Amino acid sequence: MSNPDFSDQVVVVTGASGGVGAATAEELARRGASVVLAARRAGPLAEVAGRCGKQAHAVVADVTKRDDVQRIFDEAVAKFGRVDIWINNVGRGIGRSLLEITDDDVDAMIRDNMKSVLYGMQVVTPHLQARGTGAIVNVSSLLGRTPLPPRAAYAAAKAAMMSLSEAFRIELAGSHPNIRVVVVYPGRIATDFGHNALGERTRDGGKLPAEVLSVIGGATQTAEEVAQVLCDAALNSRGDVYTQPGVFARVREYLEKQPG
């Protein structure tokens, strides 16, 4: 079975200099998309763009700055004439116990994991509304559904981003039903994400409740495996998408077991 075709799609991918963002940009290019890649690191970003081919355009930008996000959009339209899909992929983790989380930690988690996504949605949506179609894809984490103690601030920021996305999905469904808001939930991924996290690198300890481990304890996926699911979701999906088979049932079981 062949992969869905992106040959008539212009796609923006943030956080595209490595990990899932880079793998997604390269997968999109293989499927025929015109890809706009955005990230802060000029050198790695240029390398990824080179692997994507002639239909790729790299923009060095910091998506925690609204003006930079606007510039990504402006360059995409100047280069390709429009944007069909916007993928908000930037995120940053933290390993810190709850009582040690500082004000700066909270500000960083909200800035990197929520405000970067908010800016992307706010910048591209008027364009999609004018065209009457398109998709916004926000990359979250299973920790936004099933938090872990040492990553509480990260999980909280991802949960906030999830709530923004769900509310916006409902809002657009009434006025612009052909604009899709998709949230993708990866689990463990074999990337350098943990190396760039604030605080200490943490492991999932054996003292965690069994129901938590049942959700986050699945097989580690490669960035390429996640990118395959993400690209399929970008083209066709509505609502929430989990990159690991069967994980939604485990998330629902976890939520049902919580006291309330």
What is the distance of C-alpha 200 from the center of its chain?
23
Alpha helices in the chain (DSSP H): 19-30, 42-52, 66-80, 103-110, 116-131, 152-175, 210-216, 223-236, 247-257
Reported as type and span, the H/E element at residue 60 is strand 56-60
Q: Tell me the C-alpha distance between 169 and 185, whole Å.
A: 16
How many CB atoms within 10 Å of residue 13?
35
Are 63 and 38 in contact, with CB atoms under 8 Å apart? yes
Reported as type and span, the H/E element at residue 181 is strand 179-185
What angle in degrees, to the nearest 10, is found between the helix axes of 152-175 and 103-110?
Answer: 30
Residue 154 falls in the annotated catalytic set: yes
Residues forming a β-bridge with 13: 37, 87
Alpha helices in 18-102 (DSSP H): 19-30, 42-52, 66-80
Are 253 and 211 in contact, with CB atoms under 8 Å apart? yes
Active-site entry in 119, 154, 185, 242 = 154
Are 33 and 7 in contact, with CB atoms under 8 Å apart? yes
Label the pairing between strands 198-199 and 85-88: unpaired
Annotated catalytic sites, by residue? 154
